[in-house]
Chain A
Amino acid sequence: MGQFRITVDTGGTFTDVVYYDETKQAITIHKLPSTPHDPSEAILGGVQALIDKGVPATEIEYFCHGTTVGTNALLEGKGARTGLIITEGFRGIYEVGEQCIPYGPTIFNMFYEKPAKLAPQSLTCEVKERVDFQGRVLMPLDEASVRAAARRLKAKKVTSVSVCLLFSFLHPEHERRVRDILKEEMPDVSVSLSSEVLPQIREYFRLSTTVINAYLQPVLERYIANLAKRLEGTGMKSRKRYIMQSNGGTSTFESTAKKAVATVLSGPAGGMTAGVTMARDTGHRDLITFDMGGTSCDVALIKDAQPSFASRVLIDGRVIALPMMDINTVSAGGGTIARVTNQGMLEVGPDSAGAVPGPACYGRGGELPTVTDANMALGYFSETNFLGGRMRLDRSKAVRAVEEKVAKPLRLSTAEAAEGIVRIINVKMEEAIKAISTMRGYDLRDFMLVAFGGAGPLHSSQMARDLGMKGVIVPLYPGVNSAIGLLQADVKHDHAMSRLKVIANLKGSEASGHFAELAQQARQELLDEGFAEGQIAYQYGLDMRYAGQGYEITVPVKSGSLNDADVAAIRRGFDEMHKQLFGHAAPDEPVEVVTYRVAGIGQVPEVKMPRFKSEGRPLEDAHLGSRTARFDGADMTAEVYQRERLDVGHAIKGPAVVEQLDATLVVPPGQIATVDEWKNIIVTDEV
């Protein structure tokens, strides 16, 4: 029986589609122009393309999607009309936020603005109630005040309500009762409770996350319902339909519609998931993923095949305090513009020429030199073999832009100017990589750089060398790597609760009780989604800190069932982790447990990346010719190869260029590129 999986990653310019044929264990890829007015159009196009090849829709067994719908609604201010219900007297929580201005140049910007509130004060209602720091009720919930709030929000035509009461993570009953009353008064309203979205201490982070959820929920619900209907319209019957979440796991259509805030980093999470699989497959278990596109570059760290997580991120100045893939983004892409300042300084970025007018060599009217133009001027790109020949590049325009705008004002040769532009953008991206690695106590000599995105493989070899890394891995399909990642993700739901306690006073039985409660929630959710017991796994973690510290670190815990000795061992593990991350530990200081975490994993049958055997073809089959390219101040003859024709075991010595449909790999002199059995290209220093 033939069975297919489809994954779709919607980007700003392209919608990437990957098909996996389970019978043949074969992957094929497809790229369509995105349809921003209704992203599902391009998605349907991708599904239809498979059906048109004669695959019955009923054989499409699995569908997974990385979406930017939530991110875009948030960035463009197109969410629902959102209300907020809070404890009486505490309007300042949302209004003041963190109070401080972001560090760096913003401190000097007299026109800085806080992000607009997604639920304004006029749609914020106070209810009489109060719970203390131990979860005791100081003032019971006054239901009349809740009804009055519901009626006001109804009159104001609010369609989504967020509820965030003080200490609700210890005593959720008040928030639940508020929801019941809201549902009585306004049956169609969407309700987000802070005790469900993020049952954790620190009211502003909890409130902000909950409000964003409420703001996005109706948008996601509508989008998913529409997408589901259209997929069913093709004849697809399977209910294994998933959306990628920011935590690197997927979630069913139905669950995603209930926790919209978890999709905000849905897009880039796929690339990291692909990196994790690569780490497991290839045995290169320590990786930096490096995704460079047209305007920005995302980097992330994978240690021992485990991704890194951040427990709190800022999106457009707004706090989301959910566990998310820890991805560092810098403004550096192929379209990044180079210029000479009035002081005679060469600056590269942060602004970008975007898709329109784009780099000068695209011939769409762009006149400013970009990073792509510099690469073109250095001879790294082919004029005729870009996007498989679908787009012709004009080298003379690239050379002219670099010459006029950079070389002449600085009295450099064009080649020197172009090399300068590439070096400067490389340093910026290298600093972004250091920020997530060396600055956190990791030694880059242990790591491989996984280069993908349209521009990643152009820069990766030189950067890995500058950073003293082990080498570079270029996956087989660098242009659709995020969609490949969607093929490999499990379903994952995070559950958490804050219970502050000094660990010296914590009994194993008490900790086990909290974990069991969370695990039961996780289990039930996955059973409801159709997973069998045998497919469910759990990951446990504890957020801890030295008493008095402001922020916690999450320590992984092997099991949810702990005895007192286990608790003592966890404390020592915290000291070690603190030392690893921050350079010191204080084993004699008291440690506090703050938050218990359980992730429920619904295991999806694994997709093995196809392995290939050498077909014994000569390297000459892939040889396209040679051209002059610039390396380290010297013009050299670089051999040019076609990626798609390379065979397992082939080795290419630099200087060389490897071209494929949607990416170009540069191999500098002194490095060697070899093809492994997954047809990844591994670039290392020649020994």
Chain B
Amino acid sequence: MATKMDQSGVDPVTFQVIKASLTGIVQEMQNSLFRTGYSTIIRESQDASCALLNAEGEVVAQHVVLPLHIGAFPACCAAVLRTYRGTFQEGDAYLINHTYEGGSPHAPDMAVLTPIFHQGRHVGFSGTIAHKSDIGGPVPGSCFALAKEIFAEGIHLPAVRYIRAGVVNEEVERILASNSRTPELVLGDIRGQIGSDRLGERRVAELSGKYGQNQLLACFDQLMRVSEESMREHIAGWQDGRFEAERLLDNDGISLDKPIRIHVVVEKKGDRIKFDFSGSADQTQGPANIRPPLVKASIVYCLICLTDPHIHINSGLLKVADVVVREGSVLNPRFPASLNTYNPTVHAVVEAMLDALAQMVPGRARGDGCGSRSIIIGGRSTRAGKGYVQYEIFGGGTGARPNKDGLSGACAHQSNSRIAPVEIIESEFPTLVKRFDLVKDSGGPGEFRGGLGIHREYENLMDARFNIRSTKHVIPALGVHGGKSGKPGKLTMKPGTNQERELPSRYSDYPLGEHDVFRLETPGGGGFGDPLSREPSLVVADVNEGYVSPARAAEDYGVVVVERDGDWVLDEAATAKRRKS
């Protein structure tokens, strides 16, 4: 056991102390970023993350807010190294949001990387990635559902030197500012990122001074090696074999009747594991594509979920798996295929992988979840008389687990955002929320039930432009081991009127008029196991809690309930009869 660490020459106590310090530093960077960012996207949705990288651009520590950025940091840093290797100076800062040159999930996610120097030696990078409120393009927020090329997704910066030895390159600032609907927010957020990066630089340099450069760098290597070895050890314990799974996505927003296939073959032998996605669909016209750094990050996400949530997150984990993504496919599209609505595809990739992996890891199968969605309503008249962007992110029901129901009204998998309070959005935007509850009967039936989706209904009070980026409105969250699917999501304009109309799950620029009502129902999670073997008392409780209707209790679960004194109670005889037939 002990021999493993002797190679590096870092004693175990110093190693642990440096590890804890690096964890503290990325946490400190994260706090600084959340607080100094100007935009509500950073402050409210907290769509931003921080990392420390070694001089080769490998992540040595990352604070987990957004697991997907584990792939984006090294890809962005690689682009910076390709362009500027050997020319770094203390006080530099580099920007990149180009999705093909670097590896941000989509162009609004802009990376700021700064080299860390200690006693004149370049020892690593400090990095932040944060979602920008607007970088131009056809719609506010820059996520155009009908984009066919990245040129309709706002401005793309390749790796550029934004600051040289402390001197800001104002040309870069002016170009960015003139390509955004919210220039102050974009530049303000970038400054917040720089501040956070500089904090990381200072702290790492202090650490290097305290423990010595060589020991610190040896520690970087060892952190990655320990995480990789620990993950491989877990994987070696799994059953060997070849397993496959697939998931379908609603559509790409352009060809509305054409589902998109995500397919994976997992081959595992000893401590080696390979994910081959060659069977996935060709790249799409609409913005459903994702790039390989995101696929790799999704793999790491799944592996951590199945092993040790407390594992130290670093690039060592990216080395564990071999990945095959076919060029020209939805997971490795050719430039300049559009990419902005990446989240539905990532959810499908994650769910296909978890499905395949659950066949070799006992006790980890689960129903599919709701995916993630946002609505963006843009207008030019707030209560204060200014332009506004009302941006809300919704989860729904998560998949049932082998021993537990799914979560209702929650975020699934790697997506994780706060919901906006009703009292805040009504105070700030011209909107009235009419209903906010769960969607009854939306959880996929099973021995363990999928979580329920969210139902919100709005009355729009002034003319505005409406956008949605959602998923699973056509293809539901699937159940597992005999569990049934959750109810799909739905977006209805003017419900209950003769103009009632359902919009697709990706849609841009719907004109909302004064007093127009729209209703969003988000998907429920998939069930686990045969619903007929669900403990009847749990079904009765679900009926009493309003999660399941009496009719569906009978239909889906074979449980017959009767009303007594305002409560629903089990009709044992009728239930036994119904479950037998």
Is there a chain B Cβ closer than 8 Å to A89's Cβ?
yes
A584–B198 Cα distance when bound, in Å, is 14
A133 touches B423 (CB 8 A): yes
- With both beta carbons as reference points, the residue of chain B lying nearest to A347 in the complex is identified as B16
Q: Which B residues are in CB contact (< 8 Å) with A101?
A: 410-411, 416
Given the interface contacts A89-B437, A409-B2, A438-B28, does A100 sit within 8 Å of B36 by beta carbon?
Answer: no
What 0/1 readout, one digit per residue, does chain B (532-575) give for beta carbons within 8 Å of chain A? Answer: 00000000000011110000000000000000011100000000
Q: Which B residues are in CB contact (< 8 Å) with A583?
A: 32, 35-36, 195
Given the interface contacts A167-B423, A424-B13, A582-B36, does A344 sit within 8 Å of B1 by beta carbon?
Answer: yes
Of B247-255, B303-311, B329-337, B476-484, the one contacting chain A is: B303-311
Q: Shortest CB–CB separation between residue A86 and chain B, in angstroms? A: 10
Select one of A91, A100, A584, A590 contacting B417, CB under 8 A: A100
Is there a chain B Cβ closer than 8 Å to A180's Cβ?
no
A91 touches B437 (CB 8 A): yes
Query: Using a CB-CB cutoff of 8 Å, which residues 534-549 of chain A contact chain B?
Result: 547-549
Is there a chain B Cβ closer than 8 Å to A550's Cβ?
yes
A99 touches B410 (CB 8 A): yes
Given the interface contacts A120-B545, A201-B423, A344-B1, does A410 sit within 8 Å of B20 by beta carbon?
Answer: no
Q: Shortest CB–CB separation between residue A505 and chain B, in angstroms? A: 10
A408–B305 Cα distance when bound, in Å, is 33
Is there a chain B Cβ closer than 8 Å to A315's Cβ?
no
Given the interface contacts A92-B454, A155-B565, A583-B195, does A99 sit within 8 Å of B419 by beta carbon?
Answer: yes
Is there a chain B Cβ closer than 8 Å to A73's Cβ?
no
Q: Shortest CB–CB separation between residue A25 and chain B, in angstroms? A: 44
B546 touches A435 (CB 8 A): no
Query: Using a CB-CB cutoff of 8 Å, which residues 78-111 of chain A contact chain B?
Result: 89-93, 95-101, 103-111
B544 touches A122 (CB 8 A): yes
Given the interface contacts A90-B436, A97-B409, A345-B15, does A548 sit within 8 Å of B422 by beta carbon?
Answer: no
A423–B366 Cα distance when bound, in Å, is 41
B229 touches A343 (CB 8 A): yes
Is there a chain A Cβ closer than 8 Å to B167's Cβ?
no
Is there a chain B Cβ closer than 8 Å to A532's Cβ?
no
Is there a chain B Cβ closer than 8 Å to A241's Cβ?
no
B436 touches A93 (CB 8 A): yes
A344 touches B12 (CB 8 A): yes
Q: Which B residues are in CB contact (< 8 Å) with A23?
A: none
- With both beta carbons as reference points, the residue of chain A lying nearest to B188 in the complex is identified as A586
- With both beta carbons as reference points, the residue of chain A lying nearest to B420 in the complex is identified as A550
B31 touches A121 (CB 8 A): no
Q: Which B residues are in CB contact (< 8 Å) with A202?
A: 421, 423-424
A427 touches B423 (CB 8 A): no
Query: Using a CB-CB cutoff of 8 Å, which residues 378-426 of chain A contact chain B?
Result: 409-412, 416, 419-420, 423-424
A110 touches B416 (CB 8 A): no
B12 touches A346 (CB 8 A): yes
Is there a chain A Cβ closer than 8 Å to B44's Cβ?
yes
Q: Which B residues are in CB contact (< 8 Å) with A356?
A: none
Q: Shortest CB–CB separation between residue B191 and chain A, in angstroms? A: 8
Is there a chain A Cβ closer than 8 Å to B449's Cβ?
no
A345 touches B434 (CB 8 A): no
A351–B395 Cα distance when bound, in Å, is 33
A206–B29 Cα distance when bound, in Å, is 30
Query: Using a CB-CB cutoff of 8 Å, which residues 418-447 of chain A contact chain B?
Result: 419-420, 423-424, 427-428, 431, 434-435, 438-439
A95 touches B409 (CB 8 A): yes
Is there a chain B Cβ closer than 8 Å to A500's Cβ?
yes
Given the interface contacts A92-B455, A420-B12, A424-B16, does A344 sit within 8 Å of B5 by beta carbon?
Answer: yes
Q: Which A residues are in CB contact (< 8 Å) with B32?
A: 439, 582-583
Select one of B64, B366, B456, B544 contacting A103, CB under 8 A: B64
Of B71-79, B270-278, B338-346, B425-433, the one contacting chain A is: B425-433
B419 touches A98 (CB 8 A): yes
Given the interface contacts A92-B438, A581-B35, does A423 sit within 8 Å of B17 by beta carbon?
Answer: yes
A346 touches B456 (CB 8 A): no
Is there a chain B Cβ closer than 8 Å to A113's Cβ?
yes
Q: Which A residues are in CB contact (< 8 Å) with B1?
A: 340, 342-344, 409
A427–B309 Cα distance when bound, in Å, is 22
What 0/1 readout, one digit per residue, does chain B (435-466) give for beta carbons within 8 Å of chain A? Answer: 11110000000000000001110000000000
Q: Which A residues are in CB contact (< 8 Å) with B428?
A: 548
A166 touches B419 (CB 8 A): no
Q: Shortest CB–CB separation between residue A100 and chain B, in angstroms? A: 5
Q: Which A residues are in CB contact (< 8 Å) with B410?
A: 96, 99-101, 114
Is there a chain A Cβ closer than 8 Å to B359's Cβ?
no
Select one of B13, B403, B418 contacting A99, CB under 8 A: B418
B64 touches A203 (CB 8 A): no
Given the interface contacts A92-B454, A105-B309, A122-B545, does A346 sit within 8 Å of B13 by beta carbon?
Answer: yes
B12 touches A92 (CB 8 A): no
A450–B506 Cα distance when bound, in Å, is 57
Bin chain B's interface residue count.
Answer: 35 or more
Is there a chain B Cβ closer than 8 Å to A204's Cβ?
yes
Is there a chain A Cβ closer than 8 Å to B580's Cβ?
no
- With both beta carbons as reference points, the residue of chain B lying nearest to A440 in the complex is identified as B31
- With both beta carbons as reference points, the residue of chain B lying nearest to A103 in the complex is identified as B65
A111–B363 Cα distance when bound, in Å, is 11
Given the interface contacts A105-B64, A431-B24, does A114 sit within 8 Å of B407 by beta carbon?
Answer: yes
A409–B5 Cα distance when bound, in Å, is 12
Is there a chain A Cβ closer than 8 Å to B505's Cβ?
no
A135–B182 Cα distance when bound, in Å, is 32
Q: Which A residues are in CB contact (< 8 Å) with B20?
A: 424, 427-428, 431
A344 touches B2 (CB 8 A): yes
A264–B395 Cα distance when bound, in Å, is 31
Q: Which of B21, B394, B427, B567 has the most CB of A within 10 A?
A: B427
Q: Shortest CB–CB separation between residue B271 and chain A, in angstroms? A: 13
Is there a chain B Cβ closer than 8 Å to A502's Cβ?
yes
Q: Shortest CB–CB separation between residue A666 and chain B, in angstroms? A: 18
- With both beta carbons as reference points, the residue of chain A lying nearest to B568 in the complex is identified as A122
A105–B23 Cα distance when bound, in Å, is 13
Q: Shortest CB–CB separation between residue B316 and chain A, in angstroms? A: 11
B411 touches A584 (CB 8 A): no
Is there a chain B Cβ closer than 8 Å to A240's Cβ?
no
Q: Which A residues are in CB contact (< 8 Å) with B229?
A: 343
A410 touches B409 (CB 8 A): no
B230 touches A343 (CB 8 A): yes
Q: Which B residues are in CB contact (< 8 Å) with A120?
A: 545
B436 touches A89 (CB 8 A): yes
Select one of B4, B366, B419, B567 contacting A96, CB under 8 A: B419
B401 touches A133 (CB 8 A): no
B437 touches A92 (CB 8 A): yes
B546 touches A121 (CB 8 A): yes
A107 touches B64 (CB 8 A): yes
Q: Which B residues are in CB contact (< 8 Å) with A419?
A: 13
- With both beta carbons as reference points, the residue of chain B lying nearest to A96 in the complex is identified as B409
Q: Shortest CB–CB separation between residue A409 and chain B, in angstroms? A: 6
Query: Using a CB-CB cutoff of 8 Å, which residues 181-238 of chain A contact chain B?
Result: 201-204
A120–B542 Cα distance when bound, in Å, is 11
B454 touches A133 (CB 8 A): no
Q: Which A residues are in CB contact (< 8 Å) with B565?
A: 155
Select one of B301, B411, B421 contacting A108, CB under 8 A: B301
Q: A111-B403, A122-B546 are in contact. List 11 more A-B contacts (CB 8 A).
A: A89-B437, A96-B410, A99-B409, A166-B422, A201-B421, A202-B421, A204-B421, A343-B1, A435-B28, A547-B384, A548-B40
A-side residues, CB < 8 A to B, are 89-93, 95-101, 103-114, 120-122, 132-133, 152, 155, 166-167, 201-204, 340-348, 409-412, 416, 419-420, 423-424, 427-428, 431, 434-435, 438-439, 500, 502, 547-551, 581-584, 586, 590
The 3 closest A-B pairs by CB, nearest first: A96-B409, A420-B13, A108-B309
Q: List 27 A-B contacts (CB under 8 A).
A: A89-B437, A92-B456, A100-B418, A101-B410, A103-B63, A105-B310, A106-B309, A111-B401, A113-B404, A113-B407, A121-B545, A122-B546, A201-B424, A201-B427, A343-B233, A344-B1, A346-B16, A411-B2, A423-B17, A424-B17, A431-B20, A547-B384, A548-B428, A549-B40, A550-B40, A582-B35, A584-B192
